[in-house]
Amino acid sequence: MTAFVLELAFGLVLGFSLTIPPGPMNAFIASQSVRSFREGVTAGVGAMSADLVLGVLVYVLHSAVDLSAGLRWIYLVGAGVMVYLGIGLLRGASSRPPPEAQGIHTYTKALALGVSNPFQVVWWLTAGLAFAYLGGWVLFVGLFGAIAVWVVVFPWAVHAGTERRPSIARAVLVVSGVVIFAFAAYFLFLAL
């Protein structure tokens, strides 16, 4: 029982260490949370789905993955997706906000960002794979449990804050767009 609890706790810590740091995904989730709590959670669920897809792919195909051969393309595709999303965020910040209920569109954008985010891909190809062998399914329950908590709490905090102070909503959108562009530039730099 103690080993189970330790693996679960380790998975939770690992999950929070993966989700909490600032990055393109949290910038996108924040931008959607300004519009509505539901859209923020939908973006978070898209991000969590991307982690699930990457985790399963890496675990199943671990022997066929050659990180060195595809890393440049991972960075290029990731930078392209981020430029596309960044442009959309900055357009949204300078114009009338779109309708609150976008649902599947928000989910799909978050999923695309997640599976093309070089940091997420590389994390799953390295640390994620190592932890899969170290802890097995209990560790992954903890990891995805932490992600599930984050994709509800973070959108709630952003949405609640921007509802109380509507003047910061546009700033959240602009900063989110700038963060995504900064990561796109960094990934392009790494690719070249």
**How high is the pLDDT of residue 40?**
95
Query: Which alpha helices (DSSP H) does the chain contain, by range?
Result: 2-19, 24-35, 37-61, 67-94, 104-116, 118-123, 129-135, 137-164, 169-191
Which one-letter DSSP state was computed for residue 65?
Answer: -
Enclosing domain of residue 68: 2-191
Cβ-defined contacts of 26-29 (< 8 Å, 24+): 26/154, 27/89, 27/175, 27/176, 27/177, 27/179, 27/180, 28/85, 28/89, 28/109, 28/110, 28/113, 28/176, 28/180, 29/110, 29/151, 29/154, 29/155, 29/158
Question: What is the rounded CA–CA span in Å between residue 111 and residue 46?
Answer: 5
**How high is the pLDDT of residue 175?**
81
Q: Taking the model in full, what pTM does it have?
A: 0.80
Point out the residues of the chain with pLDDT beneath 50.
Answer: 100
**How high is the pLDDT of residue 158?**
93
Number of domains comprising the chain: 1
